[in-house]
Amino acid sequence: MAEGQSVDAAAVFDPLRPKLIRVAYRMLGSVADAEDMVQEAFIRWMGADRLSVREPEAFLRRTVTRLCLDQLKSARLKRETYVGPWLPDPVVEEEPEDDVTLPLMLALERLSPLERAAFLLHDVFGLSFEEVGATIERDAAACRQLAARARTHVREERPRFQIEQQRGLELANAFFAASRHGDMKTLGAMLAADVSVHSDGGGKRPAAIQPILGFEAVMKVHQQLAALFAKHGSTLIRAGFINGLPGFVTREADGELQTTALDIEDGKVVAIYVMRNPDKLAHLH
C-alpha cells in the first residue's frame, strides 16, 4: 500500500480512536481487549475500499461492535472459570462519567451480547434503532425489543443522581484516611447497613472469593485490614473517579497498585469495589 494511502487512512481513523475505544470498553469491560479490537478495526480500515465509505465513523463503529460481539463469546467462557468476583478494568478519571458507572457495567454482564450492544448503542451513544440495526445486523424492531429487555435488567443500576465532584473526592479521601488509620468510628459512620465489598484479585493476589455482605462483616474485614495497614502501610497515589464512582488509587505493601471505588447513595457507601488483579491494573502504571 502506498505511504500516502496509509497516512490518509490514519488521518481519518486517529481522531475517532477515543470514541471507538469508548464503545469497545463499554462492550467488553477490558481496556486491553478494547484496544485490541480498535487496532483490529484499524487494520480492516486500512484494507477497506475507503473511497466507497460515505460515513467512516459509522463504518468503524459497526466494525468495532461486531468484533466486540465475537470477543464477548470467548470472554464469557473465561469468566465462567474466573477466580472470585469479576470486575471491569478500572478507568480512573478526574471527573465523574455520567453514562456508564461501575454498577451499570456489572449489570451489563447479565445481558446477552446483542442486548448489551443494542442498549449501549441506543441508550448510551444515542444511535437510532435503524443505525443500531445496521450495526448488529438486525432490523430496527428487533433492536427496539433488545434494548427494552436490557433496560428492564439494568434499570436499578442506572445512576439516579450524579454525586457532586468535590463532594465525591472528599468522601473518597475520608474513606482512605479512616480505613488506613484504623478510625473505625468514622468509617462506620460512612457505611450503609447493607454495604458490600467486591474484591477482584483474579487468583493472582489475595482477595475475597465471595462478596462480603452487610455492615458487621464489612467492619470486621476493615478492622483486620487496619492492623495490616498499620504494620505494612498503604500509600495514596491519587483520588479520582473510577468508572464513574468516587475512589482512589493506592500502592500496597506488595508494591502493586490497587483501586477502590465507592458506590454512594444518600451520603452512605453502599458498595466498595476493590481491584487487585495486576493484569487489570497494568494500564495505570
State the pLDDT at residue 158: 63
Residues 184, 259 contacting (CB under 8 angstroms): no
State the span(s) of the chain assigned CATH 1.10.1740: 1-81
Give pTM, 2 decimals.
Answer: 0.91
Q: What is the mean pLDDT of residues 181-198?
A: 97
99-158 CATH fold = Arc Repressor Mutant, subunit A (1.10.10)
State the span(s) of the chain assigned CATH 3.10.450.50: 165-284
pLDDT band at 100; cut points 50, 70, 90:
confident
Tell me how many degrees the CA angle 145-139-61 measures, rounded to the nearest 5: 95
CATH architecture of 1-81: Orthogonal Bundle (1.10)
Residues 273, 245 contacting (CB under 8 angstroms): yes
Check residue 60 and report its DSSP letter: H
- CB-based burial label for 141 (10 Å; 0-12, 13-18, 19+): exposed
Measure the CA–CA gap between 72 and 68, rounded to whole angstroms.
6
Work out the end-to-end distance of the chain between its first and last CA atoms, rounded to an integer number of angstroms.
36
State the pLDDT at residue 98: 63
Alpha helices in the chain (DSSP H): 3-13, 17-28, 31-47, 56-80, 102-108, 113-119, 129-136, 140-154, 165-181, 184-190, 215-232, 278-281
Q: What is the mean pLDDT of residues 13-38?
A: 95
Q: What is the mean pLDDT of residues 10-17?
A: 94
Could you read off the pLDDT of 128-179 as tens digits, one per residue? 999 999 999 999 999 999 999 999 988 876 655 577 889 999 999 999 999 9
Among the listed residues 38, 44, 41, the one whose alpha carbon sits nearest the alpha carbon of residue 21: 38
Measure the CA–CA gap between 222 and 226, rounded to whole angstroms.
6
Q: Which of 160-164, 184-188, 221-225 has the lowest mean pLDDT?
A: 160-164
Q: Which residues contact 7 (CB under 8 A, 6 or more apart)?
A: none
State the pLDDT at residue 119: 96
Residue with cell 484499524: 42
Q: What is the mean pLDDT of residues 247-258?
A: 96
Rounded to 10 deg, the angle between the 31-47 and 3-13 helix axes is: 140
Give the 3-state secondary structure of residue 187.
helix
Give strand pairing partners of 157.
none
In CATH, the number for domain 165-284 is 3.10.450.50
State the pLDDT at residue 1: 46
pLDDT band at 285; cut points 50, 70, 90:
confident
State the span(s) of the chain assigned CATH 1.10.10.10: 99-158
Q: Could you tell me the CA-to-CA distances from 132 to 26, 57, 126 in Å, in that order?
A: 16, 13, 10
Strands 257-265 and 268-275: antiparallel
